[in-house]
Chains A and B, each alone.
Chain A
Amino acid sequence: MFAGYSMGELTAIFAMQGFAGLILFSVFVLMALGLAIIFGQMGVINMAHGEFMILGAYVTYLVSHVFADIMPALFSMYFFVAMALAFVAAGALGMFVEWAMICHLYKRPLDTLLATWGLSLILQQLYRSIFGAREVGVTIPDWMMGSLPLTDMIEVPINGIFVMVLAVGISIAIYVLMFRSGWGRQVRAINQNRVMADAVGINTAWTDRMTFGIGCGVAGVAGSAFTMIGSTGPTAGQQYIVDTFLVVVFGGAGSLLGTIASAFSISQAQSIMEFFLSGSMAKVLTLLVVVGILMLRPQGLFALKLRK
């Protein structure tokens, strides 16, 4: 498998594929963080998570057009506005869905799965009716184009670096929110013992709604970041949902660190294998290994020790 490559070429291959893996890793982290909050902390399976991401992507698409038409001078900065709006839009929709649907189903996790699948079908059809069935892309501002040459054989694209920075930033923000804020303490308290949390005066219904909203909002930001790398179609969300769930489950539900570690290992494995095998076989092998490990260790890599 390594025959025919010199040592220097191999290093370059691994470096480039490793970097491609890092971009994939950032994407996985962004997707999985929202789900880690919703699934890991609340135990809700949100099959429409991908559609919340796509909502963020479409918001970015709209914002880029508004900026291009109305204030072209500020076009280079539109992305930051788009990200904020994507967060608000996806978060608001998430809170509405929680109020209308999820909060009635907390005791029936498998039913939540079916209901949110229904929601994802509805959202997909709405996107298709509004934006058309074809994929749309955004114009990337000039400063994000091009790539940085590190050595004469290794180059890294700037939009990839931007997505990585974003992933790190959001991970830190969520860490602070979960472990350094009053809200995070309440969420963790509810996760550990809902009845007692209720008894000590935490407004669990409101906290749930906020948590779900923030999780969906993060998904929206992830979708927004997606537009920097690829185009967006109505069914793009569905393609990622299995990967995302596997990342969260593999990392150990409830553990943010585990989510990040599993996103790292899955993305690196996949992108390095992709160079030597075909893309589909790399994916099959990666998923098989993940499923295999999960069968041996169902609690995931980093399991929180909890008394249930």
Chain B
Amino acid sequence: MQTDRKNRFLTREEAVYFAILAAVVFLILPLALDPFRLNLFGKYLTYAFVAIGLVLCWGAGGILSLGQGVFFGLGGYCMAMFLKLEASTPENTAIQSTPGIPDFMDWNQITALPWWWEPFHSLFFSLLAVVVVPVVFAFIVGVAMFRRRVGGVYFAIITQAIAAILTILIIGQQGFTGGVNGITDLRTLNGWDIRTDEAKTALYFVNGALLFACLFAAQYVRRSKLGRLLIAMRDQEDRVRFSGYDVASFKIFVFCLGAAFAGIGGAMFTLQVGFMSPTLVGIVPSIEMVIFAAVGGRLSILGAVYGTLLVNWAKTTFSESFPELWLLGLGALFIAVVMTFPNGLAGLWSEQIMPRARKLFAGGTARPAPASPDTAAGLTQPRKAAAE
């Protein structure tokens, strides 16, 4: 019975949680919000892609990357380059001294499209690049680091340095990348205007569907043997290595998977918000994405989605009305999450709220709680409830 349940893709409890999230994303939010706010929540959900990747890398695998913004940005820029080329037809850019190239290139006295922009005329190539470019980049970084057994704190610092490098590079090479303003004024996707309310609503649903695809992929990884090995590596890396597993390969894989999620998120960000800029690539956004995952619960992929929505919603609300308080609040949130509830909202839910609710409904009959893999208890500690 026990092993049977462990190998199932979704336990009954998890299926309920997935269904609740699906209802929130596909029914409640679209019905409750006007198109502007819905687009805003669509933007938040693009960050959730990164947060899910972080749950796999950091929560399960123990690899904290402070450079996820790099992958988000790479995905977003790949998408933005395609949209920008489509928007810069010779007719639209007739007033430029060189018609047919993006406006910021013209402003920077560049007269021909650089060779590495050329392939982004093709939609198929661009969509492929959204996933492949971040993954290849993550693969190179991952091989270089994990093969040499760089981990933990050093990995965090080096990924952060990479985020800094990429930001400086994008800002410095203004003629090729649009500089600090980023790539703006994006209009159509293969002839379809993405700026209308209808298009934005449609993109919101596409985004939601992709998010669930990523959630299922993440759930599949966690249910598989790979997922259990990741947790084993996080807790006792040497023991896994001595058992004959190639630790580095597993780490590289999960890091690449996180990068792929982030790339998709970045592309959806570009489509829904209509621009891409280095402010989403650097150190600050990268570390903010970590806090989304931390608030939601670093061990729970669904928690990460809720955490992202909640923190961003709070950010928008507070910074609209009390801009000064927001940074103080965000700082306090960082400290509070780390010091008092390291497993985030999901941990709070499964360790505090659910056991109490169960006691209430079961009327005191000691029934062992079903193993919920979303909880810290299910992953790291022997279940206390069963022992009682």
Contacts and interface: CB of A to CB of B under 8 A. Distances in A.
Interface of A: 43, 45, 101, 104-105, 108-115, 117-122, 124-126, 128-129, 238, 242, 245-246, 249, 278, 280-281, 283-284, 287-288, 290-291, 294-296, 298
Of listed B149, B160, B161, B339, residue having the most chain A CB within 10 A: B161
17 contacts: A101-B335, A113-B66, A115-B339, A118-B331, A118-B335, A119-B334, A120-B331, A122-B332, A125-B324, A125-B327, A242-B160, A245-B157, A245-B160, A249-B158, A281-B172, A291-B165, A294-B158
A126 B172 CA distance: 31
Contact of A124 (B161, B327, B333): B327
A295 B153 CA distance: 14
Contacts of A104: 339
Contact of A109 (B152, B168, B171, B342): B152
Contacts of B283: 238, 242
A122 B327 contact: yes
Interface string B199-226: 0000000000000000000000000000
Main SS at interface, chain B: helix
A302 B169 CA distance: 29
Contacts of A126: 328
B156 interface: yes
Interface in B274-306: 283-284, 287, 290-291, 294
Nearest to A45: B153
Given A242-B164, A291-B165, 16 more contacts: A45-B157, A110-B156, A114-B334, A115-B334, A118-B332, A122-B331, A122-B335, A242-B161, A245-B157, A245-B161, A283-B168, A284-B165, A284-B172, A290-B161, A291-B161, A295-B144
A291 B161 CA distance: 8
A186 to B, nearest CB: 23
A105 B153 CA distance: 14
Nearest to B150: A298
A288 B327 contact: no
Contacts, number: 116
A291 B162 contact: yes
A300 to B, nearest CB: 9
B168 A122 contact: no
A117 B334 contact: yes
Contact of B331 (A112, A125, A246, A287): A125
Of listed A45, A101, A115, residue having the most chain B CB within 10 A: A115
A111 B338 CA distance: 6
B335 A115 contact: yes
B313 interface: no
Nearest to A235: B284
A115 B169 CA distance: 29
